[in-house]
């Protein structure tokens, strides 16, 4: 009986998190209500409050879920890759392809950024999200250096710079899709990163 209850709780929380993602992508961080989430999920507002004590908990769960989904997708893509350079390119490709594969992702993330100075819990969650990006990238760079494929480097700095370049290009494209040819520029970024790290 307890397992069944846990399964229902997990199912409901996932259902509500997905509904929150859709609502926040349409309405933004500030402009939605618990009723909007309930309507999107086809549930009562009472059930939303039963599974999440407040809006903050719902949004924090959403941020964690988004991060977890990205990591799972990346893990699957990296499963059969041994070459650190291939892994790094796959990592960068996955970030760039999010714009097409998960169109609302960055709109939701940008909304979360607006809370950095106002909400310490959301600020910490954002920091953890970017820390996980840097850690993932750093692990690939470390492996490449150990295998003699990449040059010796300041791993933390290089990982930070790669994330900055990739995210910066994505944000510029989201803000102005006519500014440059996205496909061409993503290829150039990958070439630049490889030229920087490979022996």
Cβ-based burial of 161 (10 A; exposed 0-12, middle 13-18, buried ≥19)? middle
Which CATH number does the domain housing residue 23 bear? Answer: 1.10.10.60
Q: Which of 31, 52, 73 is the last residue of a domain?
A: 52
Say whether both 135 and 192 belong to one domain. Answer: yes
| Model pLDDT, residue 154 | 98
Residues 6+ apart with CB under 8 A from 68: none
| Model pLDDT, residue 108 | 79
- What's the pTM value of the predicted model, to 2 decimals? 0.81
| Model pLDDT, residue 1 | 52
Say whether both 122 and 137 belong to one domain. Answer: yes
Say whether both 180 and 193 belong to one domain. Answer: yes
Query: Do 52 and 113 contact (CB within 8 A), yes or no?
Result: no
Say whether both 184 and 93 belong to one domain. Answer: yes
Which CATH number does the domain housing residue 157 bear? Answer: 1.10.357.10
Say whether both 44 and 82 belong to one domain. Answer: no
Report the domain count for the chain: 2
**Encoded tokens for 170:** 């994505």
Query: Do 124 and 115 contact (CB within 8 A), yes or no?
Result: no
Say whether both 45 and 59 belong to one domain. Answer: no
Say whether both 29 and 111 belong to one domain. Answer: no
Say whether both 24 and 70 belong to one domain. Answer: no
| Model pLDDT, residue 96 | 92
Largest CA distance in the chain: 59
Whole domain around residue 42: which residue ranges?
A: 1-52
Say whether both 41 and 102 belong to one domain. Answer: no
- The pLDDT averaged over each successive group of 10 residues in the chain (199 residues) is 65 86 81 88 89 83 79 80 93 89 78 80 85 93 97 98 95 92 96 96
| Model pLDDT, residue 105 | 79
């Amino acid at each position: 009986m307890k397992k069944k209850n846990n399964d229902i709780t997990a199912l409901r929380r996932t259902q509500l998190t997905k509904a929150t993602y859709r609502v926040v992508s349409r309405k933004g961080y500030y402009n939605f209500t618990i009723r909007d989430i309930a309507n999107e999920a086809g549930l009562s507002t009472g059930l939303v409050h039963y599974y999440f004590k407040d809006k903050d908990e719902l949004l924090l769960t959403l941020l964690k879920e988004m991060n977890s989904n990205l990591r799972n997708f990346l893990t699957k893509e990296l499963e059969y890759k041994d070459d650190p350079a291939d892994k790094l390119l796959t990592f960068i490709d996955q970030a760039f392809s999010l714009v097409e594969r998960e169109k609302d992702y960055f709109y939701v993330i940008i909304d979360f950024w607006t809370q950095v100075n106002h909400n310490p819990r959301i600020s910490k969650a954002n920091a953890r999200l970017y820390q996980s990006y840097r850690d993932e990238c750093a692990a690939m760079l470390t492996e490449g250096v150990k295998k003699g494929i990449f040059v010796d480097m300041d791993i933390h700095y290089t990982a930070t710079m790669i994330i900055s370049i990739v995210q910066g290009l994505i944000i510029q494209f989201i803000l102005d899709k006519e500014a440059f040819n996205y496909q061409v520029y993503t290829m150039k970024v990958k070439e630049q990163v490889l030229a920087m790290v490979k022996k």
